[in-house]
Structure 1
Amino acid sequence: MDWRSALAGLAWLAIGGAQAEAAAPPPSSTLVFADEFDAGTLDRSKWNVEGPGFWVNNEQQAYIDSPDVIRFLPAGAVPGAEGGVLVLQPRFRAGYTTPAKRKADFVSGRIDTKGKFEFAHGRAEARIRMPDAAGLWPAFWLLGNGEWPQTGEIDIMEYVGEKDWIGVALHGPGYSGETPLVNKSYFPAGSDVTDWHVYAVEWSGREMVFKVDDRIAYRATRPMVEHYGAWAFDNPKYLILNFALGGAYPAKTNGIKAPYPGVPAETVQRIKADDIRMEIDWVRVHRLD
């Protein structure tokens, strides 16, 4: 065989290999939880709503159970959405006072599936779009029952107001707070958090693989975790979607101290103008067979 024939053969193999890889079926899975947010109201058989008694990380909002901050838009109302959309939207409410007498100038929404749907191992994913504004802290994550961090936390997506990246992290005994098991996932050129993206984790007893639009963002194996402490990820965890404002992570990232820790005046004005919201197209959990 001459060199031209050899090169042609190699090219054919390369093309054939790429086609075979593209055509390979995904791992078999079973859908065990889904909310497409098409009903126009929150399905309370699936979700709980957090109230104003909850407060962590010096966040600047109070969570409330209200259609002001947890609302829905119908199919066709949001460009690019596949159906109805859940909207978590912070609002400016100067001097709002919680039952514990804490003052907060913002209210927002947080929902979870604790006690209603929990799972151990599988793929959790959500299709989400977020705004470009400093000082925001929306997140999609999983939390174990029991004392934190012993029962584990999996942060599938955290956004703190720099539109070209999102964060992923694991928290557990010996690796909580400023965890070493963390990564910033940067978007490809021409894309950012203001586009629709599917944020996911594929979680097994061996490893945690974080993905953005099925592109691997970070992988943490069991030996990596156990280098710092006990593996806290064989127990059931529940889903959380929330929209926090300011506090520890945004302030550490942007250095802003006023008018609120981590939240600049421009973002406050946009919240007052009802211009800030997190949109969730759907949430799904699959058991990987």
Structure 2
Amino acid sequence: MKNIFIILCVMSISIACSQQEKEDPSTKENNDYLKKGGWKLVWEDDFNRDDIFATKIWSKIWRCDKADWCKTMSQDPSLFEIKNGNLILLGKPSTDPAKDKSKYITGGVSTKDKKYFEKGRLEIRCKLEATQGAWPAIWMVPNATWPTGGEIDIVERLNYEPFVHHTVHSTYTQAGKKDPTKRTPKSTATAPINPDDYNIYAVELDTDELRFYVNGKQTFSYARVPEKESEGQFPFARPYMLRIDMQLGGSWVGEVKPFTKPVRMYVDWVRFYQK
């Protein structure tokens, strides 16, 4: 009788978890969109393993001094975790000045030289923890000189903001900082999120347009303008690598408020669809 009771409890928990996942509004809406649009899954990484790097798809991002986004990048193994089917990237204070002089250290991964994405829909389901100075990002770049080759920022969240930023960069958008005639089409937008939960972020890479989504709803688009072709307005019809990284501090996000508990990005899965 005791064994039967245990089995029934396990079955009840399994059914409840299945129903909870099934009834998640963001997941359901996203799945409905995929089915309606005829998208077919061609590649995924669900991180159901013990070693992040076992698939030979991901590499750690190295530190650099020229840009804010990579000034705290570190190879420290403690910044990279796999738990409960999630890739977890951490940002935390550096506790060993002799080993690393940076005040804060962060983890990031990239598919550089291993996997590229073109003409399809890339999705990432993740949860982004917040702290003052946190700047988690999910973005894409090609093997080309910046900004000529373009940059696609699928997700950037600053501090405790209840929304994310979508942005595209190119020679054209950079020129638009000084030349008002190069500020259309609009190259950036924000989209509301569930700030304390998982969200599904996506970008559709098309020959003539980029379309951004949060939880199955389109939140931004950026189209090719044929008359501006010679100005480098739409360099995005090419293969792009994916970068996912936790970042701390910078001129855009502001200074980091001192903290002791690590801040994390939880990446449930990455999926790529095509028609």
Give the alignment's TM-score, normalised by structure 2.
0.77
Task: Indicate how the Cα distance of structure 1 residues 132 and 225 shifts in structure 2: closer, same or farther if over 3 A, else same.
Answer: farther
The residue type paired with residue 195 of structure 2 is V
The question of 1:170 aligning with 2:160 is answered no
Across the aligned residues of Structure 1 and Structure 2, the Cα RMSD in angstroms comes to: 2.6
The residue type paired with residue 30 of structure 1 is K
The question of 1:134 aligning with 2:132 is answered yes
* 1:174-211: CA deviation from partner (whole Å, max 9, x where unpaired): 21396850111124xxxx32211001001101211100
Q: Which residue of 2 aligns with 1:4?
A: none
Unaligned runs of at least 5 residues, structure 2: 1-31, 178-182
Provide the C-alpha distance between the structure 2 equivalents of 1:97 and 1:199, rounded to a whole number of angstroms.
Answer: 39
Q: Which residue of 1 aligns with 2:271?
A: 284
Provide the C-alpha distance between the structure 2 equivalents of 1:60 and 1:106, rounded to a whole number of angstroms.
Answer: 11
Contact 1:166-1:186 at 8 Å conserved across structures: yes
Q: Which of residues 135, 157, 160 is equivalent to 1:159?
A: 157
Q: Which residue of 1 aligns with 2:6?
A: none
The question of 1:50 aligning with 2:61 is answered yes
Q: What's the CA shift for 1:43?
A: 2.8
Q: Which residue of 1 aligns with 2:216?
A: 214
Q: What is the percentage of aligned positions where both structures have the same residue?
A: 24
Q: Which residue of 2 aligns with 1:144?
A: 142
Provide the C-alpha distance between the structure 1 equivalents of 2:34 and 2:142, rounded to a whole number of angstroms.
Answer: 34
Task: Indicate how the Cα distance of structure 1 residues 43 and 60 shifts in structure 2: closer, same or farther if over 3 A, else same.
Answer: closer
Provide the C-alpha distance between the structure 2 equivalents of 1:60 and 1:238, rounded to a whole number of angstroms.
Answer: 16
Q: What's the CA shift for 1:51?
A: 2.3
The residue type paired with residue 210 of structure 1 is F
Contact 1:143-1:153 at 8 Å conserved across structures: yes
The question of 1:182 aligning with 2:192 is answered no
Task: Indicate how the Cα distance of structure 1 residues 175 and 23 shifts in structure 2: closer, same or farther if over 3 A, else same.
Answer: closer
Provide the C-alpha distance between the structure 2 equivalents of 1:93 and 1:175, rounded to a whole number of angstroms.
Answer: 36
The question of 1:250 aligning with 2:253 is answered yes
Provide the C-alpha distance between the structure 2 equivalents of 1:170 and 1:23, rounded to a whole number of angstroms.
Answer: 24
Q: How many residues are paired up?
A: 234
Q: Which residue of 2 aligns with 1:35?
A: 45
Contact 2:138-2:245 at 8 Å conserved across structures: yes
Q: Which residue of 2 aligns with 1:73?
A: 83
Provide the C-alpha distance between the structure 2 equivalents of 1:237 and 1:49, rounded to a whole number of angstroms.
Answer: 17
Higher strand share: 1
Task: Indicate how the Cα distance of structure 1 residues 23 and 200 shifts in structure 2: closer, same or farther if over 3 A, else same.
Answer: closer
